[in-house]
Every structure is written in C-alpha cells, then in structure tokens.
Structure 1
C-alpha cells in the first residue's frame, strides 16, 4: 500500500471524527467555555477532536501538508448526512449538489498539487516567522469576532488558520522525530514547537466552538476552506512544497477552487435552512 493511499485513508477517518465532534459542539455553542466544562457530552467531542488530531499527525508522516490539509473539507461533506440522520430527515437536493461540487473541486485540486516530495519541516527562522505572522492574524481575527454583533465567520476564519498552523507545526515535529528520534525533545526549538502546538490547538478549539453560536453550516464551511487554503500557502511559502505549474494547471486549479467554493456555499445554505438543527438551550 502506497504512502498516498494511507494518507488519504487516514484523512477520511479524521474527517468523520471531526464531523461528529463538530455536530456535538454545535448543539452547545450558546454556552461559555466554563459552562461547557460541566457538560459530559462536550468532553466526548473533545476526545474525538484529540483522536482526530492524533490521526492527523500520523497522516502527516505519509504525505505533504499541501495534500493532507485540503482533505479536511470532507468534514463538511460528512457532517451533512450525519446531521440529516440525527434530525431524522433526508438529505436535500441542495445538500447533494453541494457535496458533489465540493468532492469534484477537491479531487481536482489534490490531483494538481504535487505529492511526490517527502514531508518537509520548518527551519528555525521559518518557525519563528510563521508563529509571528500567524499569531497576529489569529488574535486580530479573534478580537474582531468577539465584538458585539460581529459575524461568527471572523472566529471561524481564525480557527481555520490556527488549525492549519498547528498542522504545520505537527508535521515539523513528526519529520524531526523520524530523523533524530527522542533526542529532539531536549532541543529548545522542539520545546517551542510543542508549546506552540498546544496553544494553537486550544485557540482553534475555542474559536471554532464560539463560531457555531448562530449555526454550524457557514462557520464550518469557512473553517474548512480557510484551513486548507492557508495550509497550502504555508506549505508553498515556508516548506518549499510545489503546486502544479503552467497555464493549464493554474486554470484548472482556479476552476476546481471555484467549484469547491460553490459546493461549500451550497452546503452552508442548506445547513442554515434547517433552524430546527441550530444550537439548543439546555
């Protein structure tokens, strides 16, 4: 079995786990984090998120960040039929169309992205630069989203960015561990990386949880678009990963991106069309 097949298989499992966790979190999105800590089922969602994150880290050992991260969009596709099942209804035509567009667009993008290279790791300078830039962006977006009356999509964007940075840091740790073993744990750069992973993971969890306060569809869609887009940018700018070159490849990538975005928009609209599935007061 090739590394690519293993990576894709793990990503599908991760998407299922994250989808179930997101559906649970959305049911209690009206609560504060302090209140949520007293809700047992919310902790189940966190266990699922942690399990998904662990599998995601494993998948980074089998493929580049620019391939692994776009597959996270499958979380939204999987969440739709699960939400319909939990609400005891059928998947609507708009949802089916949205899922089809998302899968087609995503498949095209993953074929265009180069996957022949090995997983890369951030150097010290690249690590510091990424942390500095991303911290400013995540904090800025989070503050904007916390203002009274602000759209939850600001926090969804911040959460997606935090998740992608966390993935890049995890890939760096995995690659260094594979090269040098447990000896890397004593290095200051590794300690900084692990601390940053924990910080970004917590930030992403809190930000996405807050973004679900007016419904799951649109925030989950935004998070799952920002996540792969920013991860691909990180992969290209900081890790030296390559995308398909040439006019034809760029044109196809744009077309696939538009198709996937259209699909996600349809899924978000379809999800928001069911007010009975919005967060409930308990």
Structure 2
C-alpha cells in the first residue's frame, strides 16, 4: 500500500512540475522586461513558483511512503507531460517522435518499478555536518555552470546544476521526513539547506529555459534522480533488492527511459521547442 501511495503522489507531483516547466519556458522566451527583478512583476512567474511549491510539497509527501530510488525515477515523466504542454502553448501539434519518446520513457520507468519499489527507506540521514557537506558539493555545480560562456553548453550546464541541486534537496528532504526531532539544531540546518537548494534549482532552471524547453528539461530530468539516488544509496543507507533478472530488467528500463528522453529532446529541437534567442531568463544568471 505504501508503494502505491508513493507512486500516486509522485505522479501528482509530476503534473505540477510539468505545468511549472511549461510556464517557465513561456516566460523565458517572451520579450524581456527591464530590470534584474522583472520576473517578480509577472503573474505567470508566481504561477510557476506556486506550481513548483505544490509539486515539491507532494514530492516530499511521496518520500514519506517510498524511498528516493522509487520516487526520483518517476520524475522523468515530468518531461513526458511538459513537452505536450509546451507544444500546446506554442500552438503546434505534438509530433510522432515526441510520442515515441514519451512511450519509451513511460515503459522504461515502469520497468524500473519492480526493483526501486523494493528499496528500503532509511531510518536516519547524515548529521548536520554531513548535510552541509552534501549541500556544498551540490553547490559546486553552480559556479561551473555560470562560468560557461557559449549558448548551448551554458544552457545544458545550468540544467545539470539545477538537476543536481534539486536532487540534493530531495535527498535532504528524505532525511527530514524520517527525522525524530524536526526542531533540533541539526534538523533546522538541514531544513534551511533544503530550501536554499530548492530555490537555487528553480532559478537555475528558469535561466536554462531561455534556450528552450526540450533539451534543458531532459538534462535536468536525468540529473535530478541520478544525484538523489546516488546520495540515497551511498549516504542514506538505501538498498536495492532483487536478483540478477530484476537487475537486468532495471538496466533495460533505465536504457529505455534515457533513450526516450533523447528522442524527446531531438524532437523538441526539430519542432522549434529549443529557442536560443529566448531572452527573458533570470537576469542575474546571464552571461555578461
């Protein structure tokens, strides 16, 4: 029952995140407004923030019932939902290649479920020093991404940094939902780090979407669960169970989902989802 609840909540979170991504992309490619804080004057931006907050809240609720290694891979479905939404806002139909990519992503995620659903949920996480170290490592991706000067590498670098910071925030949130005392100094520090990383992921994604929706969202969608699952398996004590057959099924599922993401990205580029001329990202994250 817990697994079903975790999956249901994860899918609800996917819908919210997909809506937020579509709105953020629409803002990013709209004509820029003057001022470094122009986003704060846009009602659409606050809609995206609200949808992201809703998605995050439901995502955290899913972590109460399931491990990171189950909840995070389902986040790949965000791309499946976001691209049709992006196509609708752009006034164009969804192409066959996009539907093929979506189908492969869904099948791949379904193949992952037998092994990820059996993963153990950790009883406790790292202490305050460990949480700080994890957050610091995730933050190292931000200056590297900002140092990239050219268009597409910078866009993808920002997407990777967004995925890593968001995935790390999920991992820290997993420790909070199973903490014995949320008001201890260590838990309060972890809460602060989680919020900082979540906001950083949101702003980095907004900056990445100035180059389009398909490619950055695909990269972000892969980087997020990889970062979260790596932390869950190495630091939080999560373990995957199952024999060689289940492991092989999971490997096939991961390969199918990854290929589906690649197809969606290529389809998005061909149909004009990627728009390097987009100019309304977060001004403070732009190149000079």
Of 74, 78, 102, which residue of structure 2 is paired with 1:75? 78
> C-alpha separation between the residues in 1 aligned to 2:279 and 2:205?
19
Q: Is the 8 A contact 2:109 2:254 kept in 1?
A: yes
Of 110, 135, 159, which residue of structure 2 is paired with 1:131? 135
**RMSD (CA atoms):** 2.2
The residue number in structure 2 matching 1:263 is 260
CA drift of 1:188 comes to 1.5
Q: Is the 8 A contact 2:20 2:48 kept in 1?
A: yes
Structure 1 residues not aligned, in runs of 5+: none
Of 194, 202, 206, which residue of structure 2 is paired with 1:209? 206
CA drift of 1:114 comes to 4.9
CA drift of 1:126 comes to 3.5
1:240-280, Cα deviation, whole Å (9 max, x unpaired): 11124554444333322221111001111112222278486
Q: Is the 8 A contact 1:64 1:120 kept in 2?
A: no
Structure 2 residues not aligned, in runs of 5+: 281-288
Q: Which SS does the other structure have where 1:37 is aligned?
A: helix
Q: 1:209 to 1:57 in 2, by over 3 A?
A: same
Q: 1:105 to 1:75 in 2, by over 3 A?
A: same
The residue number in structure 2 matching 1:230 is 227
Q: Is the 8 A contact 2:210 2:279 kept in 1?
A: no
Runs ≥4 residues deviating over 6 A:
279-282
Of 77, 96, 101, which residue of structure 2 is paired with 1:98? 101
The residue number in structure 2 matching 1:7 is 6
Q: Is the 8 A contact 2:67 2:122 kept in 1?
A: yes
CA drift of 1:91 comes to 2.2
1:187-240, Cα deviation, whole Å (9 max, x unpaired): 221121111012101110111111111100000001011111111111100111
In the TM superposition, 1:41-56 aligns within 5 A as: 41-56=44-59
Q: Is the 8 A contact 1:160 1:223 kept in 2?
A: yes
Q: Which SS does the other structure have where 1:84 is aligned?
A: helix
| TM-score (structure 1 length as normaliser) | 0.88
